Amino acid sequence: MQTIFSDGSNQNGSSILDKLFSAGKRLLVGENLFMTAYTNVASQGKRHVSFAAPYPGKIIPLDLNTLGNKIICQKDAFLCAAKGVSISIEFQKRLGTGLFGGEGFIMEKLEGDGMAFMHAGGHITERELQPGEILKVDTGCIVGFTDNVSYDIEFIGGIKNTLFGGEGVFFALLQGPGKVWIQTLPISRLARRVLAYATVKQKDEGSILGPLGRIFDGDNSF
């Protein structure tokens, strides 16, 4: 195990300035300055490293060699990758997409020809979009997409839809060809729901005994 001040891509040929610049870009997408690299130093045979998700959700394996060598994903989506995969930033050039697309102006970019792993909340749906095919999704539910996919926003329209539709003012619009990954529960919404549950007094679900029932359940707090 070795802690490195870079993402592991071009580790030997990078100058200190290049490493600082690379680390600064990782900070902008929510990653750490330092990364941990695991190397198999055994004389023969494979060894295994296990990793886990930082919050409830799904881990998505990505073979970048079969995905055009580039994936654009939401900030904090990166989990781990083969050494040599570059973790950088992708700027949204459209003003409206950056302001209202749910992902901001800066997204995360994974480049290389090895395996990489993303993580996102809730259930994950993978879709293969055909040329010209359009998918409209709730803003903030985009996990990632391949380089050929066009990402934009669309105004929902209609006063009733905007005020009472529960979907906000804009859709995220993805146009093929390419692959996209969609999540059902972004971490920001999960955090809001947990906070709301923790700060509001809840009824005693499934119990007619109230506080006495909680004692039998092992919860002694009142």
- The CATH number covering residue 16 comes to 3.60.160.10
Mean pLDDT of 8-30: 63
Q: Of 42-51, 119-128, 206-215, where does mean pLDDT reach its minimum? A: 206-215
pLDDT tens per residue across span 86-116: 888 887 665 555 455 555 557 888 999 899 9
**Sequential DSSP letters for 88-155:** EEEE---HHHHHHSSS-SEEEEEESSSEEEEEEES-EEEEEEPTT-EEEEETT-EEEEETT-EEEEEE
Instruction: Give the domain range for residue 147.
Output: 2-41+57-214
pLDDT tens per residue across span 172-204: 889 989 999 999 888 777 777 778 777 766 555
Give residue 27's pLDDT band: very low, low, confident or very high (50, 70, 90).
Answer: low
Residue 171 resides in a domain: yes
Under a CB-based contact definition with an 8 Å cutoff, are residues 32 and 26 in contact? yes
Q: Indicate the pTM of the whole model.
A: 0.70
Distance of CA 174 to the CA centre of its chain: 16
Residue 51 resides in a domain: no
What domain count does the chain have?
A: 1
